[in-house]
Amino acid sequence: MSTVKSAQRTLEVLELMERSRRPLGVSQIARLLGYPHSSTSVLVNCLKDLGYLNFDPETREFAPSIRVALVGGYLRFGDFHASDVLNLLSSIQKATASTTILSSRNGVYAQYVYVLPAPGRGIEGLRAGSLRPLTRSAPGLVLMADCSLAEIGKIVRRINTLADATEHEVPAETFERVRDARKAGYAWVYGRLVKDIGSVAVSLPLHDSFGKAMAVSVAVPRDEIEDRHGELASIISSLIGKHLDR
């Protein structure tokens, strides 16, 4: 296994355990992630030896150790701790019964930093690390709210040159969408990235480690977002005020 693939699989194992919230055996991990059993066994035992996983010899299951939590324990988002943000995302997910996503800007993309699936309403393709063009996603529109017209124009032109560009963006239409997001305090989009799925996004009063703006969004079926985008935005904004009011 290459070093790069090993690093990717290490993170995927830890993310799987975060989603599962329970100890897992080698066979379960291999099945859920689609890895060969032999290499999965080598990987999790290596993580155990390094102190990142605990192992129960009776059940032969693994679980994250306290070392995993301590690795990022120093991280803060301005005045806020990572736990404040996670509590906010959990509250939004419960209040809206929708998959909830934390995003930040990465070049001309909105990148999903954290995805909290709604029980029984998981949406395929929504994974942490995914990149979405700023112009085609609700998080992207609110992340561009502080950009000048000149900067937005550059973003649109860059997106139109991407190899995976499936449609041509019109600068004037993007300007209008960003203006609407500024005026309303939120953005909503449907069907541009995932058929019959839409999202509502609101900017957050915090930034990542490099000072980049962040946004939170919920993903819902198209028929629901058309009727409820204002209501969902209000719920999100209210919870942001409750959890991040300092």
What confidence tens digit (pLDDT) does each residue in 19-49 have?
A: 888 899 999 999 999 999 999 999 999 999 8
Distance CA 131, CA 36 (A): 27
pLDDT at residue 137, rounded to an integer: 92
For the chain, give every residue range classified as CATH 3.30.450.40. 76-243
Q: What share of the chain is helix, strand, coil (3-state, %, to 5)?
A: 50, 25, 30
CB distance 226 to 190 below 8 Å: yes
Look up the CATH architecture of domain 3-70.
Answer: Orthogonal Bundle (1.10)
Q: Say whether pLDDT at 81 is over 90.
A: no
Q: What is the pLDDT of residues 106-127, one digit of tens each?
A: 889 999 988 888 877 666 667 7
CB distance 232 to 96 below 8 Å: yes
pLDDT at residue 121, rounded to an integer: 64
Q: What is the pLDDT of residues 180-190, one digit of tens each?
A: 999 999 999 98
pTM more than 0.75: yes
Q: What is the CATH number of domain 76-243?
A: 3.30.450.40
For the chain, give every residue range classified as CATH 1.10.10.10. 3-70
- What average pLDDT does range 78-93 have in this prediction? 86
Q: Which is nearest to 104 in space by CA: 8, 199, 11, 216?
A: 216
